[in-house]
Amino acid sequence: MKRLALLGSTGSIGTQTLDVVSRHPDKITITAISAGKNLDVLLPQAERFSPELIVVADEETAQKFKKAAPSFQGRLKWGEQALTEAATHPQVTHVVVALVGSLGLVPTLRALELGRVVALANKETLVAGGHLVHEVLNKNGGTLIPIDSEHSAIFQCLKGESMSEVKTIWLTASGGPFRGYTKEKLKKVTKEQVLHHPIWKMGNKITVDSASLMNKGLEVIEAKWLFGVSPEQIRVVVHPQGIIHSMVEFVDGSVIAQLGLPDMKTPIQVALSFPERWDSPSPRLNLAQVGTLTFEEPDLETFPLLRYAFEVASEGGSLPTVLNAANEEAVRLFLDEDLPFCEIPDLIHAAMKSHQKKTFPSLPEVLEADRWARQFVKEAGSREKSTTTKP
C-alpha cells in the first residue's frame, strides 16, 4: 500500500489527486494533507479521507477548522514548518507536492533526503532550487516523478531509454489564449481574457503564466533539471490542440511522443502508479475525431518571458530563482489589478538585470534571492501604482 502526503489538497491538482486516490483505495491511502485557508474544500476532504495529519496555513485557520470539525481524530498543525513535517511523516511513502510557488522547495528537499518518492506538480520548486534538488537526488537516491503534463510525457517517452541517446526534448505549448496576438493587441487584454485558458482549466497563477508563456519558460528550466539536459537540447513548439503532450528526439532521428486528451488526472495517476500502470475511467483519445494536429514556432517577440527563461536556464546560478520569484510577485500584482498584463515581462526583466548573481547558491542564498526579487517587484509595483493613480 502506498501512503501519501498531499501538499496543497484544495487546489486544482490537489483535488484531482484525491479523485485518483479514490479510484484506487486498494493501492493508495492518504496519511497527511496540507491546505491553505480554504476550509470549504478541506473539511469534506478531512471527513472523507481521515488523514493522520492535517496542515493549514495559520493558527486562525486551525481554530476555525477545529470548530467546524470537532470530531476530527488526527493531528492538526499550521505554518510552513509543518509542511515539511507532513512531507517527512514517518508513515509516508509518496509525497505529492501540489503547492503554488517556491513554497514547495524545502518540503521537497526534505522528503527526497529521506528517500521518499516525490510526485512534483510544483514546477517553481525546480526553477528556484533545481541544483539543490539535483544534489539531494544524487546523494540520497529518492525518486522524483513529474506531474506536469509535458514532463510526464517526456518521463514516459524516456522509459527504458538512455539519456546519452537523447538529442532534443520537444516541449509542446498550447500557445495560451493570446496565440497570434501582436504586442500592441496584448496591451488591451482584460483580466477575464487572461484567466480563460483555451485547453486546460487550472489555478489562477498557472493560467496567467500560460497566457504570458512564462509557464512554458518555467517548464524549460524544469525539464533541464528533471532530465539533466542542457537548455540547448530543449525546444518549444506550439501545438494548439494539446493532444501531443511532449516528445523526445533521439540521436538516430526517431521521435517518440506521448499523446492523450488533456486531463491532468492521467499524469497524476502515472506518477502515483509508477512503475505500474493502473486502469482509469478518463476519456479516451480518438484521433479520427480530433482530425487535425497543427504546429507552429512560438512568438518570442510578443512573449519575451519564454526567451528570458531560456537565458536564465543557460546562465543558471541564482537567476532562475529571481525569474521565478519576480514572476510570482508580478502575477500577484496583476491578479490584484495593480499591474497591466503586458507589463509583467518588463518588471521581471528589470529584476533580472538588477540582481547580483550567485553562481552556486546554497539553500539560504536561494531563499534570500527569492526574497530579494519579491521585494524588488513589490517596490517597483507600488511605484507604478502611485504614478498611475495620480491625477
Closest CA to 312 of 238, 245, 220: 220
Show the binding pattern over residues 76-95: x = contacts Mg ion (CB under 5 A), - = does not: --------------------
Other residues' Cβ atoms within 10 Å of the Cβ of residue 3: 16
Rounded CA-CA distance 271/147 in Å is 6
Show the binding pattern over residues 105-144: x = contacts Mg ion (CB under 5 A), - = does not: ----------------------------------------
In angstroms, what is the minimal distance from the CB of 261 to Mg ion?
15
Using the minimum distance from each CB to Mg ion, give the nearer residue, 86 or 270.
270
Please report where in the chains the cell 500577484 appears, as a residue: 332
In angstroms, what is the minimal distance from the CB of 175 to Mg ion?
13
Told to check if 222 binds Mg ion by CB under 5 A, we report no
Using the minimum distance from each CB to Mg ion, give the nearer residue, 83 or 220.
220
Using the minimum distance from each CB to Mg ion, give the nearer residue, 225 or 376.
225
In angstroms, what is the minimal distance from the CB of 148 to Mg ion?
4
Using the minimum distance from each CB to Mg ion, give the nearer residue, 50 or 282.
282
Using the minimum distance from each CB to Mg ion, give the nearer residue, 34 or 215.
215
Torsion of CA 281, 285, 290, 296, to 10 degrees: 110
In angstroms, what is the minimal distance from the CB of 82 to Mg ion?
28
Rounded CA-CA distance 258/153 in Å is 5
Rounded CA-CA distance 236/173 in Å is 7
Q: Which residues pair with 168 in a beta bridge?
A: 249
Assess contact for 351 and 322: CB atoms under 8 A.
yes
Q: Which stretch binds Mg ion (CB under 5 A): 71-79, 147-155, 169-177, 361-369?
A: 147-155
Please report where in the chains the cell 478531512 appears, as a residue: 46
What would the DSSP string read from start to end of 341-381? GGGHHHHHHHHHHH----SS--HHHHHHHHHHHHHHHHHHH
Find the binding residues for Mg ion in span 149-178 (CB under 5 A).
Answer: 149-150
In angstroms, what is the minimal distance from the CB of 338 to Mg ion?
27
Type of residue found at 182:
T
Q: How far apart are the first and last CA of the chain?
A: 64
Please report where in the chains the cell 517518440 appears, as a residue: 256
Using the minimum distance from each CB to Mg ion, give the nearer residue, 156 or 318.
156
Using the minimum distance from each CB to Mg ion, give the nearer residue, 62 or 220.
220
Using the minimum distance from each CB to Mg ion, give the nearer residue, 200 or 250.
200
Pick from 148, 249, 328, 370 the residue near Mg ion by CB under 5 A.
Answer: 148
Closest-approach residue to Mg ion (CB): 148
| DSSP code of residue 10 | T
Rounded CA-CA distance 145/155 in Å is 8
Please report where in the chains the cell 511522443 appears, as a residue: 257
In angstroms, what is the minimal distance from the CB of 212 to Mg ion?
14
Closest CA to 221 of 293, 348, 323, 84: 323
Q: Which stretch binds Mg ion (CB under 5 A): 19-27, 60-68, 145-153, 353-361?
A: 145-153
Residues near Mg ion (CB under 5 A), total:
3
In angstroms, what is the minimal distance from the CB of 162 to Mg ion?
25
Other residues' Cβ atoms within 10 Å of the Cβ of residue 391: 2
Q: Which stretch binds Mg ion (CB under 5 A): 37-45, 148-156, 182-190, 242-250?
A: 148-156
Q: Enumerate binding residues for Mg ion (CB under 5 A).
A: 148-150
